[in-house]
Structures are given as C-alpha cells and as structure tokens.
Amino acid sequence: MPKHRYEEMTPWKLAEARDQASLVYVPIGSTEFHGQHLPVGFDAMHAHAVCLSAAEQTGGVVLPPTFWGTRGHEGFPGSLLLREETIAALAADILDRLTAQGYRLIVLFTGHWPEVQGGLLKRVGEEHMERSPDVRVLVLDPLTTHPTEARTEHAGRIETSVMLHLRPDLVHMERLEAPDALHAITPDCVDASAEYGKAWFESVVAETVRQVKEAL
C-alpha cells in the first residue's frame, strides 16, 4: 500500500494526498517484551497495519511507525521503554510539524497500553488543540476501538492472533510450551488463531474508519 506511506511519497504526491484529505495517521507503539512467542516490536507493527488498512478507505497518509513507547514491562528481556516526558515531547513535536505541513486531522494511533500511553497522548493532543484550534487530534488504539470486544490484555489471544494473521513468520507458538512461558502475559494466548486475528483486525479497522470519517 505504498500510496499511503508518507516516507515513500514525493513532496508533490504528499501535497496531492493532503488536498484530497487533510488527514494523517501517526502509528505509535513500543519496543517491549511480548512473551517468548511474539516480536518486541508488535505494538508498533500492529498500529501501523491498522492505519494503513484504514487509510485505504479514508484517504490520507500514514507516517512510519514509532517504536518508542513508555511504561510497561520494564526490566523484561528486549524491553526498551522511555520516560513519559520523552514520549510526550516526541508526540508534541510530531503534532507541531504536521500542523505546519497543513494537516487538519491527525490520528495518533497507539498500539501500546491504551490506559497509560493512550492517556498520555490524549493529554498531548488536547494541549495541541488548545494551541491550534483549527486542528483536530484523534487518539485511538486497537484494544478499546474494537466495537464489541474491548478489553485489556498483553500478548494474549487477541494480540497473538493478530500477529498470526499479519506476520505468522514472526510468531513462535512452540515457545509457549516452555516452563514459565506464560509469565507476565495473558495466558489465553495458547488459544490464538489466524482466523480469529483476521476477524478481530478487520473489526478494528472498520471502527477506526467509522470514527475517522465522522471526525472528517
């Protein structure tokens, strides 16, 4: 889907896309332990995939995913989580630069911990809208955006199924058979399937599209 990938577009293509829909998606994730069976970059990869699929229906452009996130499984293998103020400053700078480029609807889509990182991004977005009242900042995430099955989990059935759908080559279900493999993750990951992941992912994309079109 290169026609929506910001980093692959020329300045004149970006201008054309902005004229058609003054909309930009900003996928934000983390680099964090997701069990022994999932990649540490899952949150950003998930957010990016949702944004790209949504942009196919709404127009607009999608920034490269941000793999830096805040708070979570600190101290676990592979986790590289930054201070909240660092992520807040990064998000504020991104919003400022996108506003200067002429975007009027900015979707901050976080794949990481909606209650914490999502809340942080909402505060940053509200502050930005106070400074730039002609800009709308919409903060979404996959877990609470799902229309019927919103809940919190970590590397459980939902996230494992989504990765089995998106990138099965990066999922190692056999690792879940090891002793203590379910430590610090949602244990229903063993029930994951690509079919469930596909249906769940498509529901999130559909609801994201609905909310973005409403905001437009």
Is 215 contained in some domain?
A: no
Q: How many domains does the chain have?
A: 1
What share of the chain in percent tops pLDDT 90?
95
This prediction's pTM: 0.97
Beta strands in 7-135 (DSSP E): 23-28, 61-62, 105-110
- By CB neighbour count within 10 A (0-12 exposed, 13-18 middle, 19+ buried), where does 192 fall? buried
DSSP-derived 3-state class of residue 189: helix
Q: Is the model's pLDDT at 2 over the cut of 60? A: no
Is 188 contained in some domain?
A: no
Determine the pLDDT at residue 55. 98
Give residue-wise pLDDT tens across range 64-75.
Answer: 999 999 999 999
Is 164 contained in some domain?
A: no
Determine the pLDDT at residue 1. 42
Is 190 contained in some domain?
A: no
Mean pLDDT of 10-16: 96
Give residue-wise pLDDT tens across range 166-178.
Answer: 999 999 999 999 9
Q: To the nearest whole number, what is the mean pLDDT of the chain?
A: 96
More confident residue, 215 or 3: 215
Is 208 contained in some domain?
A: no
Q: Is the model's pLDDT at 14 over the cut of 70? A: yes
Q: DSSP letters along 132-143, please?
A: -TT-EEEEE-HH
Q: What is the CATH number of the domain that holds 131?
A: 3.40.50.10310
Mean pLDDT of 25-38: 98
- By CB neighbour count within 10 A (0-12 exposed, 13-18 middle, 19+ buried), where does 32 fall? buried
Range of the domain at 72: 2-151
User: Helices in 138-193 by DSSP H: which ranges?
Assistant: 142-145, 157-166
Is 163 contained in some domain?
A: no
Determine the pLDDT at residue 148. 83
Give residue-wise pLDDT tens across range 110-160.
Answer: 999 999 999 999 999 999 999 999 999 999 999 999 888 767 899 999 999
Is 27 contained in some domain?
A: yes
Comparing CA positions, the residue from 80, 88, 108 lying closest to residue 212 is 108
**C-alpha span between 33 and 76 (Å, rounded):** 6
Tokens of 213: 């079109």
Is 46 contained in some domain?
A: yes
Comparing CA positions, the residue from 5, 24, 49 lying closest to residue 159 is 49
Determine the pLDDT at residue 149. 77
Q: Return all residues near 71 (Cβ < 8 A) that are at least 6 apart.
A: 81, 84, 113, 116, 117
